[in-house]
Amino acid sequence: MALTGLQVRFAEKGDLKQAKEILRKSFTGSYRYWSELLLGRLDTLVAIMDGRVVGVAEIYTKETKTHGKISVISFIAVDPGYRGRGIGKNLVAEAEKIFREHGCRYSAASTRRDNLASIGMFTKMGYSLYRRGEKEFEELEGPLYAYEDDIILVKKLG
């Protein structure tokens, strides 16, 4: 899934201003508020291309009763001018690699049902989709802080 000229790594202090701008362009309302507040507080991955930050993913790990140690992609965003090039997939793939290294059995994310780009990306990468009301969703809503979302995506890590 390597993209020529793309580097994905943990964010450094100097990356956070550009990462925040991408979050600002990508989210509104409470999603913007929380993604900006958690920037640099959660583990943060950045995608670097053309010498600048073009994507960001905020991740964490949580212990759950039903899934054991689960990893969460809390927020993921790609600069609008760089979307459709596989940058989001590369961020997710790097996050999954880190999660495996930390002994996580599952990776998960949540979103709104109208976020078709995110849903499409995660399902193409092997994530199963669960809707509000389904057992899997109800078990993971709290650990994922998915209270405003109605879709949870889960992948068993090999």
Distance, CA of 85 to CA of 158 (rounded, Å): 26
112 within some domain: yes
Provide the pLDDT for residue 4: 80
Q: Name the more confident of 114 and 4.
A: 114
Structure tokens at 23: 């979050």
Query: Count of domains in the chain?
Result: 1
The 10s digit of each residue's pLDDT in 34-58 is 999 999 899 999 999 989 999 999 9
Provide the pLDDT for residue 158: 80
1 within some domain: no
CATH number at residue 107: 3.40.630.30
The 10s digit of each residue's pLDDT in 105-157 is 999 999 999 999 999 999 999 999 999 999 999 999 999 999 999 999 999 99
Long-range contacts, 28-31 (Cβ 8 Å, 24+): 30/148, 31/75, 31/148
119 within some domain: yes
Distance, CA of 15 to CA of 133 (rounded, Å): 39
Q: Which domain holds residue 72?
A: 7-156
Distance, CA of 2 to CA of 13 (rounded, Å): 25
Q: What is the mean pLDDT of the chain?
A: 95
Residue 8 vs residues 3, 45, 90, 94, 108: alpha-carbon distances, Å: 10, 7, 7, 7, 19
Kindly indicate the confidence band of residue 1, based on its pLDDT and cuts at 50, 70 and 90.
Answer: low
22 within some domain: yes
Q: Is 35 helix (H, G, I), strand (E, B) or coil?
A: helix
81 within some domain: yes
Backbone φ/ψ region at 84: left (φ over 0), alpha (ψ -120 to 50), beta: left
Provide the pLDDT for residue 28: 95
2 within some domain: no
61 within some domain: yes
Given a cut of 70, whether residue 2 has pLDDT beyond it is: no
Distance, CA of 132 to CA of 130 (rounded, Å): 7
Provide the pLDDT for residue 39: 96
